[in-house]
Structure 1
Amino acid sequence: MEYIAIAAKLVVGMVGILVFLRVAGKAQMAQLTPLDTVSAFVIGALVGGVLYNPDMSVWHILFALAVWTAFNLFIRFCMRSSLLRRLIKGDSVYLVKNGVLNFKVFKRNSLEMEQFRLMLRQKGIFSMFDVEDVRFETNGAVTVPGIGDTTTSYLLVNNGAIVQSSLVHCDRTEEWVLQVIHAYGYKRPSELFCLEWTPGRGFYLVAKSGDVKRGDEEFGVEKIGSEVLN
């Protein structure tokens, strides 16, 4: 009976974790955020603790996973606030901008130069002379534009909130973003799912209603599609 109980706990734990991942909306685990990492540790501890404790049943696993799933969804709801989103997920930052290394960002992220050089080598770059811009993403990876590729885009609005870090990177203001939003026929950022700006090419906008638009930097608008956003 003891082995049957362990097998039952293991099966229920596996199904429960799959349900948690499905409810939490994780389509892939490659892009881990700090919240995802904490969730992985907690779920592992919950299932492992119940699995080898004979005094705890399958119902303890289900209860623990239900509570953690509800709390996780609450945290994700709170992340609709741009401030909390930055505190929990962080922002992508420039390690190198226009060929100049940002030492403060290195120090804040406890990143050593040899670690950075290893990341560059993994991207096929072996000299700092070939580096113009390098971004440090929230999942710990680096993004490096190809040599001679100067195209850079900025996410101005994310899920209804203006992205302050993007304004700093592109040297623009909230008033300018609002002007763009109004030019596309919307009243406030909360009506948008996202707004991306690529200098020299224009804007790409997706509204929460499902409308998808793009246009040049003179605010010429072309509606290119519509879909339901869940």
Structure 2
Amino acid sequence: MIYFMLALKLVIGLAALIIVTRLLGKKEMSQVTPFDFVYAVVLGGLVEENLFEKSSSTIWEMLFGIAVWGILIFIVEKTTQKSDKLRPILKGKAELLVKNGKIQIENLTKAELEMEQLKSLLRLKGVFSMNDVKDVFLETSGSISVLLKPKAQTPTYDGLGVQAPGTDIPEIVVDEGKPEMNGLKNIGKDENWLSQKLSEEGVQELNDIYYAEWSESDGFYIQHNIDS
């Protein structure tokens, strides 16, 4: 009975957490603020706290706690979306660490960052010299956004006056030696088309291919099996 109750709580708790997090919206880990991290920890704690209680009534207590916490977070999320004044208080705001190539020492100190930490964050962005940096923002998630000086920026096709080549998102057409029907459907093709095109690429047996993708702009990318 104890093991059944434990499994039941895990299933119900997981379902409740999924529902709440789905209602609160999608975020990548890189977009998660300290506030988001805290509410996620509390949600998990509400399940964990009731997990090993023997009474079945704790299931309802757990669901009630998750529901109330989810409603409170939902209210906070909606409030921050609509109120420009409350958003920086509840969610924080981006800090300008470098402005026009000059380090904002006061903001750096306020963010409790040392120069070596800032340099480390810049290196993760592929920037190795402060001479290349124009502006740096410390986002609420703890990551940085970097604007390089014009001399350090990668030239664009538009800047060079050159027409950019066409590009599109490739679709998987072969996966582990089998036709990927969803990919073929997305590009409006079928297995006969796939066989014909692969034959033109010198592929006679589909089993010889581990992976293949197709795009109108770049054609095929084909990875053969190791033993083929």
Which range, TM-score by smaller chain? 0.5 to 0.7
Q: Out of 58-67 and 96-105, give the one that drifted further.
A: 58-67
Greater than 6 Å deviation, 4+ residue runs: none
* Deviations 1:33-79 (CA, angstroms, capped at 9, x unpaired): 23211111211211110112224532222111111111111212332
Report what 2:89 is aligned to: 87
* Deviations 1:184-218 (CA, angstroms, capped at 9, x unpaired): xxxxxxxxxxxxxxxxxxxxxxxxxxxxxxxxxxx
Secondary structure at 2:31's aligned position in 1? coil
Contact 2:132 2:151 in 1 (8 A): no
Report what 2:53 is aligned to: 53
What pairs up with 1:1-230 in 2 under 5 angstroms?
1-55=1-55, 57-79=58-80, 80-148=82-150
Secondary structure at 1:145's aligned position in 2? strand
Q: Which amino acid aligns with 1:54?
A: K
Contact 1:93 1:137 in 2 (8 A): yes
Instruction: Measure, in 2, the Cα distance between the counterparts of 1:149 and 1:67.
Output: 53
Consecutive unaligned residues of structure 1, counting only runs of 5 or more, are: 152-230
Instruction: Measure, in 1, the Cα distance between the counterparts of 2:106 and 2:7.
Output: 51
Contact 1:13 1:47 in 2 (8 A): yes
Alpha-carbon distance change, 110 to 5 in structure 1, aligned in 2, over 3 angstroms: same
Instruction: Measure, in 2, the Cα distance between the counterparts of 1:98 and 1:147.
Output: 9
| Residue 150 of structure 1: how far off its partner (Å) | 9.4
Contact 1:12 1:61 in 2 (8 A): no
Structure exhibiting the larger radius of gyration computed from Cα positions: 2
Instruction: Measure, in 2, the Cα distance between the counterparts of 1:149 and 1:81.
Output: 39
Instruction: Measure, in 2, the Cα distance between the counterparts of 1:31 and 1:104.
Output: 25
Alpha-carbon distance change, 123 to 90 in structure 1, aligned in 2, over 3 angstroms: same
Instruction: Measure, in 2, the Cα distance between the counterparts of 1:97 and 1:150.
Output: 16
Instruction: Measure, in 2, the Cα distance between the counterparts of 1:119 and 1:61.
Output: 40
Secondary structure at 2:134's aligned position in 1? coil
Alpha-carbon distance change, 24 to 110 in structure 1, aligned in 2, over 3 angstroms: same
| Residue 28 of structure 1: how far off its partner (Å) | 3.4
Normalising by structure 2, what TM-score?
0.61
Contact 1:135 1:142 in 2 (8 A): yes
What percent of counterpart residues are identical?
38
| Residue 132 of structure 1: how far off its partner (Å) | 1.4
Instruction: Measure, in 2, the Cα distance between the counterparts of 1:44 and 1:149.
Output: 48
Consecutive unaligned residues of structure 2, counting only runs of 5 or more, are: 154-228
Alpha-carbon distance change, 131 to 27 in structure 1, aligned in 2, over 3 angstroms: closer
Q: Superposition RMSD on alpha carbons, in Å? A: 1.9
Instruction: Measure, in 2, the Cα distance between the counterparts of 1:19 and 1:29.
Output: 18
Q: Which amino acid aligns with 2:24?
A: A
Alpha-carbon distance change, 73 to 150 in structure 1, aligned in 2, over 3 angstroms: farther
Considering fraction of residues, name the structure with more helix. Answer: 2
* Deviations 1:74-126 (CA, angstroms, capped at 9, x unpaired): 21233222111110111112110111000111111111111111101111111
Q: What is the aligned length?
A: 151
Q: Which amino acid aligns with 1:62?
A: L
Contact 1:34 1:88 in 2 (8 A): no
Secondary structure at 2:96's aligned position in 1? strand
